[in-house]
Chain A
């Protein structure tokens, strides 16, 4: 079950109905409704304080909503304690128990369920093999690297064979290279096990590359819930346009001047063409002229900022390999820009 999107005939793995949670006067989750299908790799994306972690903690049962309902596999678990939910969590700090060995950590979920020692050891061994740490069972958590600890946390959370695995910023504490490796590994693990993964992240790249669907959170609400592709290509709000990837968000007044239409829009820097002197724009393209403010070299591409209006500066990405270098484009030069009208995504106000 790799296809994205909830299907009508399936009971959702997770369902939040008008779930509301406030801490004092701060509304962490503002009446959020959400449906996650079985087997889905689902991302809760947002900046800190946007409600994504609160959402995860409510699903895990560490916190209770002020109002609303939480269903797991069709069953109301709003008042069910965490130990009675068939959901397990990989914590941001891994939360490994330092006084237990790696194998004891992994077997903990079996131990508290009264499974016999030999059986515990066998299953913990299998789980450690699954995360390629078979040799490390006798070590203590502090003797492992960050990436290894994370895999122990993963094995520990999976040993109870949960319907849903929750991951809180799973890659946050790892360095860049390890992060990329773990993205591939998590994705592969999820596909092999076929269970629902829900992960919280503030890194849009992580959400786009791993998730089947992404819910973008802002100020306790879901701004948009879509597949990564739709989210990137068709952001509905200025927040999503600028938070997921980078985009030029053009407000209503500036849009009126540039396009003649009274509607805010977003356009990705890589979708704006830079016209050579005297080069005509393709048919139907929106055109405008401006002055280069600065040029930043990024290796594979360069990024220019072009001031097209007193209050509007557009970022333009130029791929180095596609012959679109920036030679001759210096600060202060006058250039013309053009883009396909349907590349400009209209935004809700």
Chain B
């Protein structure tokens, strides 16, 4: 939205074709979301008839009155909070251990930390389920949290490591030099520097956990997180627009932290002092 940018020479400007294709791509990505939002207000409860015959807020009342939705929502929020907290603690510790030091096996350990995000969720889920069976662990709240923490940890770790690498070693040395113990250096010098990275990483992790379904299917046992609720709702389409209402709420719940994370991690002039 920087309208004051100088006009670029014609050969650097995108052609009409490029622009149209970009627009088509964006519409393709976002139109279904708007359709979902639209049908949360429809008066027709069986088919996706376009345009909707009428608009109503009735389905919001229905959705808010249903206990199973509240239960799943509550569970998903709790799981996401717990997984995020776990990821923040462990991811930060891992980042501090691996950011600067070099030691034998460091590369392998780094890979092991980052791998869960590259691994297909179905494998992570399968492996966790097999693991749980082996040690006789009953699937439930904490197994969902553990499953989500595997990939949430990577998000936090990556954010913190990137930030730590930008901190000159001399800051830590200066702090020690002036008499600070390790915990004081962490509290007064490092934590303020990684705070926004933690916040951003935490919000992304929260959003990822909140809508995760594949790993959750394997680790949830009888628990029903919100994504699992959606999934089961597809096969039992009673009051179809209710699903859309919940979808709209979920979009809003996940959008806020992701937007915040985006703004917090933008390179800002303020923290760039030498």
Contact = CB atoms under 8 A, between A and B. Distances in A.
Interface stretch (B82-90, B175-183, B250-258): B175-183
B171 A95 contact: yes
Contacts of A276: none
B174 interface: yes
A156 B171 CA distance: 13
A contact face: mostly helix, strand, loop, or mixed: loop
Contact of A141 (B173, B176, B192, B273): B273
A111 B184 CA distance: 10
A69 B153 CA distance: 44
A252 interface: no
Contacts of B108: none
Interface in B224-274: 271-274
A249 B274 CA distance: 42
A243 B160 CA distance: 45
Interface stretch (A85-93, A121-129, A255-263, A265-273): A85-93
B170 A91 contact: yes
A99 B196 CA distance: 12
B178 A93 contact: no
Contact of B178 (A61, A62, A94, A108): A108
A164 to B, nearest CB: 12
Given A140-B273, A141-B273, A97 B177 contact: no
Interface in B164-218: 168, 170-171, 173-181, 184, 188-189, 192-193
Interface residues of B, number: 21
A99 B180 contact: no
Interface string A256-293: 00000000000000000000000000000000000000
A298 to B, nearest CB: 35
A60 interface: yes
Interface residues on A, range: 20 to 34
B274 A93 contact: yes
A142 interface: yes
A61 B173 CA distance: 9
Given A83-B180, A93-B170, A95-B168, A108 B273 contact: no
Contacts of A89: 173-174, 177
Given A62-B173, A97-B189, A113 B179 contact: yes
A83 B274 contact: no
A99 B80 CA distance: 31
A205 interface: no
B104 to A, nearest CB: 14
Contact of A97 (B171, B173, B176, B179): B171
19 contacts: A61-B177, A81-B176, A83-B177, A83-B180, A83-B181, A88-B177, A89-B174, A93-B170, A94-B274, A95-B168, A97-B171, A98-B273, A99-B271, A108-B188, A112-B175, A112-B181, A112-B184, A141-B274, A156-B178
Given A94-B274, A97-B175, A141-B273, 13 more contacts: A83-B177, A87-B177, A88-B178, A91-B170, A93-B170, A96-B273, A108-B178, A109-B178, A109-B179, A112-B188, A113-B179, A142-B272, A142-B274
